[in-house]
Each structure stands twice: as structure tokens, then as C-alpha cells.
A and B are shown apart, each in its own frame.
Chain A
Amino acid sequence: SQTIHQWPATLVQPVGSPLSLECTVEGTSNPNLYWYRQAAGRGLQLLFYSVGIGQISSEVPQNLSASRPQDRQFILSSKKLLLSDSGFYLCAWRRGRGSSGANVLTFGAGSRLTVL
């Protein structure tokens, strides 16, 4: 069976510090990977998605970047955090297009980031 791991679960960082959130998927290959941000009381905002190693699409220009160094690893980064980067970050995956179950989006447990 497939599982998705996301860490750290909670992070408190000062303004101007770097950020690295990591997400890995087990039990599948060539997944499509996503990073979302969820502000309190708001819907999920797509930040980045990736259909393969080194392939990153950015939905919203911002202070964040994403990388996919391995097939099942997706990293969300920032060189210098802003107060506005605080939020709940969710990693998600689905099977590649054309695969059985490609319409199923599965989420990680989330990472709560507080920038002070």
C-alpha cells in the first residue's frame, strides 16, 4: 500500500530564516506531487506541482521554491521566511495521468509553520 510522509509536523521559525519541508511517498513510482498551503478558514492554495524528477510547476509567485531530487521526494524551501509564510502546508500525491486511480489525491498529515 502507498503511504505519504511529511515532516516536520510543527515548525516555529524567525523571520529571515530558511525553511525546508520534506515529503516522501512510499509504495508507488512516478507519482504526481503537490504542495498546498491552507490559511486559517480558507481553502487550499496550490503552490507547486511536479509530474517527474526535476519538473516543477509554480502556481503562485512567492517567497517559496520546490524541488524534486528523487522520484518520490518533494521538498518545499525558502531562503528567507516572511511573516506571511505562516500557515498549514500540505503535501499530496496522485498516480500519474492515465494510471488507474489517477483521480485520487491523497494528502500528508500537514506541517504547521509559524514565522515569528
Chain B
Amino acid sequence: KNQVEQSPQSLIILEGKNCTLQCNYTVSPFSNLRWYKQDTGRGPVSLTIMTFSENTKSNGRYTATLDADTKQSSLHITASQLSDSASYICVVSVYNFNKFYFGSGTKLNVKP
């Protein structure tokens, strides 16, 4: 069964600290994995996309990793800011592109 699981469900950190969010998937055949940031009451916005051959990709303070063998991805946020408070959603697409599988998200709260 194609599934995407994210952990933790929610996370509270202090401003300036680092954090890592996890995404495990069983989707096959794998095409790519994308991390989205969703502010409260808004649509998700893409942060990074990773294909099978990519291990690491950065976007500013966001760094995503992918281990296609273990089917795991992580999103590392460095020097967190208050504006990082949002839900982070992991999305995996299958090879024929018409299907996208979503994790339930990690809700991050950055406190001053």
C-alpha cells in the first residue's frame, strides 16, 4: 500500500535552534519527493524536490535529504525563525505522475 508517514506530528522549538523533520514512504514506483511549507489558512508552497538520484538539496536554511534505499527523507531547518512556524508536508509522486501521496504533515511552532 502506498503511504507517506511523517514525524513528529508537532514540534515546538526556540527561535534560533535547528530541527529535523522526518518522512518515510512506501510509494512505488518512486518518481520524486517534495517538501512543502503550508502557513495557516494558506495553500502549500514548494520548498524542495528530490528525484531518485539526489541525496541532498538545499534551499536557504532548508536542507532536504533522501535515502531511496531506505525510503526516508528528512527536512533540516537551520537557525529557525518565527516565520518558519507552519506545517511541513512531504509529498511523493509515482512514476506516472497522476498520483501524489501526501503525509499528514508536521506542525512546527517556533517560539521567541
Kindly state whether residue B102 has any CB partner on chain A within 8 Å.
yes
CB atoms of B49 and A104 under 8 A apart: yes
User: Does B96 sit within 8 A of A, measured CB to CB?
Assistant: yes
CB-contacts of A15-54 with B (<8 A): 32, 41-44, 46, 49, 51
- Contact indicator per residue, chain A 74-116, by CB within 8 Å of chain B (1) or not (0): 0000000000000010101010010000111111111010000
A42 to B38, CA, bound (A): 13
Docked complex Cα distance between A88 and B43 (Å): 9
Per the CB 8 Å criterion, the residue count for chain B at the interface is 24
In the assembled complex, the Cα of A25 lies from the Cα of B96 at a distance in Å of: 22
Contacts of B91 in A (CB 8 A): 105
A106 to B46, CA, bound (A): 8
Q: A106 — nearest CB in chain B belongs to which residue?
A: B46
B16-33: CB near A (< 8 Å → 1, else 0) gives: 000000000000000110
Assuming the A-B contacts A32-B98, A42-B104, A90-B43, are A103 and B32 also in contact, with contact meaning beta carbons closer than 8 angstroms in the complex? yes
Closest-CB distance, B53 to chain A (whole angstroms): 14
B97 touches A103 (CB 8 A): yes
A105 to B93, CA, bound (A): 10
Within the assembled complex, what's the spacing in Å between the Cα atoms of A24 and B75? 31
- A105 touching B104, Cβ below 8 Å: no
Of A46, A108, A110, the residue contacting B100 (CB under 8 A) is A46
What is the distance, in angstroms, from B19's C-beta to the closest C-beta of chain A? Answer: 19
B89 proximal to A (CB < 8 A) = yes
- Chain B residues with CB below 8 A from A43, complex form: 4, 89, 102-105
- Residue numbers in A under 8 Å from B104 (CB-CB): 41-43
A94: chain B residues within 8 A (beta carbon) = 97
Contact partners of A106 in chain B: CB under 8 A: 46
Q: A43-B104, A107-B45 are in contact. List 15 more A-B contacts (CB 8 A).
A: A43-B102, A44-B89, A46-B100, A49-B98, A51-B98, A90-B43, A92-B43, A94-B97, A102-B97, A103-B49, A104-B49, A107-B36, A107-B44, A110-B41, A110-B43
